[in-house]
Amino acid sequence: METQEKIIVGQISRTRGLKGEVQIYFDHPEYQDIAYDFIWVEMPGSPVPFKVRKIKVMANRTAFVFFEDVKHIKDAEGLVGKKVFINKEELPVREDDEFYFEDLVGFQVIDFHNNDKLGEIIEVEELPQQYVATVKADELTWMCPLNEDFIEEIRESEEEIVLNLPDGLLEIYRETP
């Protein structure tokens, strides 16, 4: 039974050729530094490991992959659109002061001005210009850019992030019907 924590690194975007090759689009910023012996593919119930036979990682956030047990396009077609994962332990080793924005999922958001808890980060998404956190607080779900202008402090041991939010950001979400 596999018990290691998984992290989403991308999605299978299409097939290529007739021999079962697939293209993966990567969301993870360090996709080029990961050793891909196994890639876990989203399946009903839980991710399933696929042994990588051959992989060609490209500079445009994609890779072309042959899996051991996927020998034909018909087998590969069922994988298109599926999320792909790796074991979190396979990520490159970070320096003590480095972190992945994905590590902030589960952290409490604290208001810099009044120390109020504003909710819990439930998702972090990488957009072209920046990372964005989705925060859930009771009935309110809101989004916030994660950049150096807003992040005042990350308290890793307390699982808290202190944000200096732009004026009016929360009000936009509170006023939406």
Identify the band that residue 1 occupies on the pLDDT scale cut at 50, 70 and 90: very low
Contact 20, 67 (CB under 8 A): yes
Domain ranges of the chain: 6-90, 101-175
Q: Which two tokens stand for residue 32?
A: 């080029």
Looking up tokens 């925060």 gives 135
Contact 143, 133 (CB under 8 A): yes
Structure-model confidence comparison of residues 162 and 149, the more confident one: 162
Dump pLDDT digits (tens) for 20-67. Answer: 999 999 987 777 878 888 999 999 988 999 999 999 999 888 999 999
Residue among 61, 63, 5, 51 nearest 28 (CA)? 61
Sequence-separated (6 or more) residues with CB below 8 Å from residue 170: 118, 142
Dump pLDDT digits (tens) for 154-174. Answer: 988 899 999 998 888 888 887
User: What pLDDT does 22 receive?
Assistant: 97
Return the CATH number of 6-90, one of 3.90.1010.10, 3.40.50.1110, 3.30.1330.10, 2.40.30.60.
2.40.30.60
Q: Which CATH class is domain 101-175?
A: mainly beta
Rounded to two decimals, what is the model's pTM?
A: 0.60
Looking up tokens 């050793």 gives 35
Terminal-residue alpha carbon distance, the chain = 45
User: What pLDDT does 2 receive?
Assistant: 52
Backbone angles phi, psi at 73, to 5 degrees: -55, -35
